Structure 1
Amino acid sequence: MDKNGEHLYFAGLLAKCIQGISSEEEIVRLKKYMDENPQASEILVNLRETNRLDQDLEELGKIDLEQRWANFEERGQTKAASRRPVSTLIIWLSTSAAILIAAVSLFLNRQIESNTSIIPDHQFGYKNDVTPGHAGAILTLADGRVVELGSTGQQGELIDTNLIHISKGSVEFRNETNTNEYRANRIQTPKGGTFQTILADGTKIWLNANSEIEFPSQFSPNERRIKLLSGEAFFEVAKNKQKPFIVETQGYAVHVTGTAFNINNYEANIVKTLLTEGKVDVIGKKTRASLFPGQAVVNKGEFLQTETADINEALSWRDGYFYFDGKTLQEILGDVSRWYDVSLDYQISLDQTTYMGGAKRSNTLGTICKMLTDMSQYKFEINGKKLIVKKK
């Protein structure tokens, strides 16, 4: 069974389990699958998040089913034998089960394979080492097509009569016409992944690891509106005073006409926007704030708090560096965990000491752990994709 078939089979089992109609054998098989695929357990957590499930069902409703079925029939003329079991399965599923499977499949499509690998450690004495992340993402187009970004074979590839151009580390949208119809595309980077997007207006967006944005192929005549759904992104906005550029995040929206800034949206209910060039207006639920270069704004509940910030904090990860200045070890390890796609096992409580410095993100995990051991009172063990933190 190939990866897509395995995902569909798992989605079917999970749908039956949610409906309470799965057999004991299927439950055992489902648990075994989830034990062997830790990412699958995240799906159940996501399904408990009503807003996230609603978003995915809404996304499912935006897919042009008529066009997708036409594409299916066209491909089926040459690959009928491989497609027939899937169509037979869908025919026999109830409507509710099919919807659940579709929703689960959307989650599965987001579970991108890891960009990092376990390698032997011949230098530091760890059980193994882990390679750093690299460029890679998943593009979900408005019509439901899914494109894997970052593979070397895609360099120079064109989609939709030259309107979308893919290179090794970026994807560019070239349709500059305006429309009032909002057809959403999404780009998601995995842990250990980063990617650059160039929108139709020329705006450049860098996505950090484990991040997701939503944006239209064509902007409306009056504004350029996108969403940072999760994670972190750096924006270089093309200037256009007649069409403000708006980034929606959890809790507030950032309004600009042409500038450069970073938004960190990793933590629940906390968003930090840091300005490097120009001026931005941040509009919250109850307050608003204007930022100038070297300033940042953080939402504290429904209120906004402005503070002085180091521009290098916003530029470092984009330029390939970890930024440690003023961060606690727990904050540093959060960045490390996302970039190397490792889980964290704290076997000691961490203090609130802050550190200075940085490191290249092109280093292996072992190199970073050795540096953190030298600069802190903690030591580290690497066991597969698990990073264990202990007292020295």
Structure 2
Amino acid sequence: MEDSDNIRLLLEKYVEGKCSAEEIAEVIAYFKREGNHDEFPDVSFVTSTSGAVPRLDAGKNELIFRQVLAEAGTIERRRAKRRSHRKYMVIAATLLVVISCGSVFLKNYLLPVGTIPEAANEITLELGDGKVRVIETASSGQVRNASGKVVGQQENNRISYSEKKSNTGEMVYNTIRVPYGKRFDVKLSDGTVVYLNSGTSLKYPEYFPERGKRKVELTGEAFFEVAEDKERPFIVHTEGVNVKVFGTRFNVMAYPEDNLADVVLVEGSVGMYEGRYVEEQATILTPGHKGSFSKSDKETDVSLVETSVYTSWIAGGLVFRHMTFENMMKKLERQYGVQITIKNKTLAGEEFSASFEREPIEEVLEYFRITYGVRYETEGQHIIIN
């Protein structure tokens, strides 16, 4: 049997839940043999090899190739810190994550673990008069303001305000708060859509003024699809830094406990400026770049990035690239509404790369246990990394 045929059969065997870790390591070893020593084969080879695997939609083969290649590079750079026999197992586990696409993630290798309870906190909407209402994401209906007037509509996980401009000049602000472990969307009265990540609050007016700026205040992380309006620039205020736009798509992450406030531009153009400076002194971002504002030294650094890494959370995913274990655990805390304590300080500073889609927290933890030997225990919603 040709090697490529054997590899194809092994991939099919995995999807059926029958492939062992050793067999997947064989797939990786085959890729290494066919390439130039330490290089993997090109995308065309990977796609032709995995093309017969069922349940992989268009684009998944490319994703498999890129993920395996990225992880292999990370592992090669860290091999002095880890035992060499674990290298292929790490790559194999990464391949498992990507091929599974959330449906059979480490299906045959999970050990029984206790179920971690979900966070009980609710999404709330604070109205202009200070009254707070709980938002039930499983329901739909009219949205009313403090006076009882209908100002929008809720459809499950999104509130959409009626699209119109304020005629009175009186600004009435609402604040929506999303706890850890949950997400929510808001379509503002100007047509701007805001995707709110876990642990985020957004203060916004029921209706924007007919003239002047459209201003909102953000704490946490959100992705903005700003409705274009050249006469009324859109301003996002965060702790320390502001973002000015006219019509664009970008992600803002500004959690109060983090020293950095990050803005990642997907489309259009934005300007970042510190609160005490004027807009004309803004740092301008172009698509594909990230601006990181340091709250401590008041400086902004700009770098070229892969924007999908920073926006994957919108679809429920998590993508980590060369991120310290400590920062990864912070993101898991927000995503799943849990508390994580890291007792292993050496591990906290190590860098990892990994991708997850909609896996439960138990499976994410098992990935780190199997792949990197990370030991943990759970006490309700408290996870302890030993």
Q: TM-score range by the shorter chain?
A: 0.5 to 0.7
Distance 1:282 1:136 in 2: 32
TM-aligned CA deviation for residue 129 of structure 1:
1.7
Distance 2:271 2:121 in 1: 31
Q: Is the 1:150–1:168 contact (alpha carbons within 8 Å) kept by the matching residues of 2? A: yes
Q: Which residue of 2 aligns with 1:155?
A: 140
Q: Among residues 210, 216, 226, which one is paired with 2:216 in the alignment?
A: 226
SS state at 1:125 partner: coil
Distance 1:273 1:144 in 2: 30
TM-aligned CA deviation for residue 275 of structure 1:
0.4
Q: Among residues 307, 311, 317, which one is paired with 2:307 in the alignment?
A: 311
Q: Which residue of 2 aligns with 1:69?
A: none
Q: Is the 1:130–1:364 contact (alpha carbons within 8 Å) kept by the matching residues of 2? A: no
Paired amino acid for 1:357:
A
SS state at 2:227 partner: coil
1:191–1:205 distance in 2 versus 1, CA, 3 Å: same
1:133–1:171 distance in 2 versus 1, CA, 3 Å: farther
Q: Which residue of 1 aligns with 2:227?
A: 238
The equivalences for 1:192-341 within 5 A come to: 192-220=181-209, 221-228=211-218, 230-266=219-255, 267-284=257-274, 285=276, 288-300=282-294, 301-341=297-337
Paired amino acid for 1:130:
I
TM-aligned CA deviation for residue 269 of structure 1:
3.9
1:131–1:319 distance in 2 versus 1, CA, 3 Å: farther
Distance 2:121 2:383 in 1: 23
Distance 1:134 1:242 in 2: 43
Distance 1:313 1:237 in 2: 20
Distance 2:110 2:338 in 1: 20
Distance 1:225 1:150 in 2: 27
Q: Which residue of 1 aligns with 2:66?
A: none
The equivalences for 1:1-40 within 5 A come to: none
Q: Among residues 145, 152, 163, which one is paired with 1:164 in the alignment?
A: 152
Q: Is the 2:323–2:352 contact (alpha carbons within 8 Å) kept by the matching residues of 1? A: yes
Q: Which residue of 2 aligns with 1:174?
A: 162
Q: Which residue of 1 aligns with 2:83?
A: none
Q: Among residues 329, 336, 353, which one is paired with 1:356 in the alignment?
A: 353
TM-aligned CA deviation for residue 376 of structure 1:
2.5
Distance 1:355 1:322 in 2: 13
Distance 1:299 1:134 in 2: 33
Consecutive unaligned residues in structure 2, runs of 5 or more: 1-108
Q: Deviations over 1:130-164 (max 9, x none)?
A: 26679962111112232212342x31334244422
Q: Which residue of 1 aligns with 2:177?
A: 188
Q: Deviations over 1:200-254 (max 9, x none)?
A: 00000011111111011111221110000x2111100001111100000111110
The equivalences for 1:86-165 within 5 A come to: 124-126=111-113, 128-130=114-116, 137-152=123-138, 154-159=139-144, 160-165=148-153
Q: Which residue of 2 aligns with 1:109?
A: none
- Range with bigger deviation, 312-321 or 231-240: 312-321
Distance 2:381 2:324 in 1: 22
The yes-or-no answer on 1:375 pairing with 2:371 is yes
Q: Is the 2:142–2:154 contact (alpha carbons within 8 Å) kept by the matching residues of 1? A: yes
Paired amino acid for 1:244:
P
The equivalences for 1:63-82 within 5 A come to: none
Could you tell me the TM-score, scaled by structure 2's length? Answer: 0.64
Paired amino acid for 1:356:
S
1:339–1:132 distance in 2 versus 1, CA, 3 Å: farther
Q: Is the 2:118–2:381 contact (alpha carbons within 8 Å) kept by the matching residues of 1? A: no
Q: Is the 2:179–2:200 contact (alpha carbons within 8 Å) kept by the matching residues of 1? A: yes
Q: Is the 2:128–2:172 contact (alpha carbons within 8 Å) kept by the matching residues of 1? A: yes
SS state at 1:368 partner: helix
TM-aligned CA deviation for residue 374 of structure 1:
2.7
RMSD: 2.2
Paired amino acid for 1:164:
G
Distance 1:311 1:251 in 2: 23
Distance 1:234 1:134 in 2: 24
Distance 1:342 1:363 in 2: 15
SS state at 2:129 partner: coil
Distance 2:267 2:291 in 1: 15
Paired amino acid for 1:124:
L
Distance 1:215 1:343 in 2: 29
Report the count of equivalent residues.
Answer: 265
Consecutive unaligned residues in structure 1, runs of 5 or more: 1-121
SS state at 1:378 partner: coil
